[in-house]
Amino acid sequence: MATQIFLNLPVKNLDKSVAFFTKLGYTFNPQFTNEKATCMIISDTIYVMLLTEPFFQTFTKKEIVNARKAVECIICLSAGSKDAVNEMIGKAEAAGANIPNPPTDYGFMYQHSYEDLDGHLWEIAWMDPNGMPEHQ
């Protein structure tokens, strides 16, 4: 069995977060959804658990980072083309995301990012494996 990834993110308003990510085309597993959490399906091996902040706090004694002010990680997902990167960023912006930077084009790699409603930074990237520079 392939390794699965379950990323857990705290959110201020679960309903608003579900509505936001639904506009981006994601679906949710009802078996792992209640008023405290939901399981967003990225692929058959990648899932994002969106947890209300009080519920998220039950899993750690550490302070929850305010993602609008500080960054702990950048979530990067691959896309099949430059157009697919731009399409996802367009959907995110239309759904209310903040677009912090213009896209970056390295020729062999193209990336663009958005901040979701809670400030979590998501990067969408396309890479041409045939165009990657060789290591010297």
CB 16 within 8 A of CB 117: yes
In a shared domain, residues 135 and 73: yes
In a shared domain, residues 53 and 94: no
pTM of the model: 0.89
Q: 136: domain range?
A: 65-136
pLDDT at 98: 97
In a shared domain, residues 31 and 72: no
Overall domain count for the chain: 2
Lowest mean pLDDT among 56-60, 121-125, 132-136: 132-136
In a shared domain, residues 55 and 116: no
In a shared domain, residues 123 and 74: yes
CB 85 within 8 A of CB 110: yes
In a shared domain, residues 46 and 107: no
* Residues 108, 125: Cα–Cα separation, whole Å: 11
In a shared domain, residues 75 and 49: no
